[in-house]
Chain A
């Protein structure tokens, strides 16, 4: 690992001219005290201004790692921010993922901090992840003093340049007097409209520099266009098309959850009896145990969801960007459907799938307006029956003979049975992620926290930490794979130190399982670099960190072991040895036709 603490102390030689002491009113009547208190500023340095700006926007928790260039901000937190809870993470990537999950659970941007150079580049993966999933995050990075910027100074990276394509907006803060306002603006932008990550790069001389300018109330840039209201005429037309449809289908994306529109969606679908499929980020927006739910569609989505998508004649898609993992080949995606696409971001309209009826606006508003404009319930009895038939034809099940090794799906289901509905599930990326998404029955929004667009292995554990800090009263379960867990396992030390009561279940198949599955299917079983026979004993590893470790190998022990892990007050890790031969099905091959999902290897 790189050295994060710089020994260089930058010169802070700017002698700010002291207050000119000319009061604005200039009246002699004011007492000396009043005048002093009027001029008294809350902040004295740029760093204090940064902290004041965070406090202004209601930040309570921060995730970060110390370092040379960010030290002034930490120092300001030390002196003035005892009410801000800083969680020191083991690695900056962990800080970014924790902030990401925190932002999703609370709905307000999670804050992560890192120093310049390696600190900032280590954040980049987490920032890119948040960008792909439109999660509200604000990253504060230290930077070398402005007089050294561009000179390849110690621990210097062009952070603004590096993060330009993976942030919604980023800033190089160049002035101690305005740095607080920049942080405020970055915060507002992260949450406004389509959420996303923003970054403020903070040169050390700017944060150390004197200022008596308190940050203003956080605001958006003047010219920034606020989300449009959905166009009434367009909504009316879309509602007519949906009401007339014989095979209507709702596709609920992550935007429904981010836009707090799950309730509106549920009312709408129930009233007009329209079946609902979700995208993977949209999991939880509609209860999966409801009869209208077809669960989620896409590469490893349910067979019935993919059949419904392929055969519908009107698709009401809300808050989705039609990712290729969802659509498969565009040519064969919902080929008979007229598409009504509601999205808060106009750039998403017709980007991947052409929308005959675009509705730009906030998800909850669009759904409400559609609700008002629907003339009748679509005449779609036959279609609903067909959907039920597909559910019966392609059920989500797996084989569990006792003599076989433990099936990962069984572990997921067993945990689901004993946890409350509002438990938060986080995952890494790989086969375990798919099994968690497939076999956990999600009924509430914001209970499924995963890395979708970027597919970041190692996301699960730090995300679980962030989720637990955001919602200490809710149960947090992290499903991880052995490969994924190893990538950020160091964050277990943080969970122990902060005594975060999370349960990690490692579905251990001694492989980068998803890669191995693809190698078996598409590369003639040439398992190059995908098998991990050298993984550690995760139960012992957990104990070494100070967490509670469990090992699980048998069906008979499953319920007891999972219950014991839950019951432990603090972080616990269940190392579940699962059948290494088990693969994820159904599966639509990459760029394939959704209706041609394979149910086993011989169908690929």
Chain B
């Protein structure tokens, strides 16, 4: 039909040698280009307004990022909240999460936390109450608190890093866990390091101008 078009057929054309990985990275034939998923904690300072959690979770679900946990709560500034997001993704995925999060309008600041960050999670679990002494002993071993002890169930609270929570749950398995609720991780950078830059800037601003009121413009989204 389109007889004007000519040139070598597809199979007869000279082909380039190279290749890219599925992440678009050129594959070095000697080393290859593989990226294993890693567990990463991302902290985002966001405007404390309706819809912000939906925006963040919508972004995560739409882009199919593999999310492990997501926690949210207010900060010292009533106008902002902190979202802690734990994801399990290869390197390029983590970068995408950070960049895409940053693009969301109510997101003020985003930061990936290092391995030394302080991470905590809380679990509330309810076990059968047949052996209260033993349950109490395990609760103490994990520095937990007994929240409720009845004739048939005992409810305890454990706080700690993810590994400790996993271990504690394992230990309570022997009594038969009726149900449990985990909060997911929340985290802050260790020591003097700031968790997000926006807070650092705001803190310094507040220190230099102690009289100025530390509020952001209201964009009217209530």
Contact = CB atoms under 8 A, between A and B. Distances in A.
A311 B17 CA distance: 9
Interface size bucket, B side? 35 or more
Contacts, number: 152
A3 B109 CA distance: 44
Contact of B96 (A225, A347, A595): A347
Contacts of A393: 6-8
Contacts of B20: 330-333, 335, 353-354
B160 to A, nearest CB: 34
B220 A174 contact: yes
A330 B22 CA distance: 6
A396 B6 CA distance: 9
A337 B24 CA distance: 11
Contacts of A171: 219-221
A274 B11 CA distance: 28
Contact of B105 (A168, A175, A310): A168
Nearest to B95: A350
A178 B24 contact: no
B108 interface: yes
Interface size bucket, A side? 35 or more
Interface stretch (B50-58, B121-129, B149-157, B171-179): B50-58
A185 B4 CA distance: 53
Interface stretch (A105-113, A425-433, A560-568, A581-589): A581-589
Binding site of A, secondary structure by majority: helix, strand, loop or mixed? loop
Nearest to A346: B99
Given A335-B18, A347-B96, A222 B216 contact: yes
Binding site of B, secondary structure by majority: helix, strand, loop or mixed? loop
Given A171-B219, A330-B22, A600 B198 contact: no
A597 B9 CA distance: 9
Contact of B5 (A225, A331, A346, A599): A599
A456 B207 CA distance: 53
Contact of A395 (B4, B17, B25, B216): B4
7 A-B pairs with least C-beta separation: A397-B4, A335-B18, A393-B7, A347-B99, A353-B24, A169-B105, A596-B10
Interface of A: 160-161, 164-165, 168-169, 171-175, 178-179, 181-182, 185, 189, 221-225, 303, 307, 310-311, 322, 330-333, 335-338, 345-347, 349-354, 356, 390, 393-399, 581-583, 585-586, 593, 595-601, 603
Given A174-B222, A351-B99, A353-B24, 8 more contacts: A174-B221, A179-B220, A221-B217, A224-B105, A347-B100, A395-B6, A599-B6, A601-B1
Interface of B: 1-11, 13-26, 50-51, 54-55, 58-59, 62, 92, 95-96, 99-100, 102-103, 105, 108-109, 198, 216-222
18 contacts: A161-B54, A173-B220, A181-B219, A182-B220, A185-B219, A221-B105, A310-B16, A331-B19, A335-B20, A345-B103, A346-B99, A390-B7, A393-B6, A398-B5, A399-B1, A586-B5, A595-B15, A600-B1
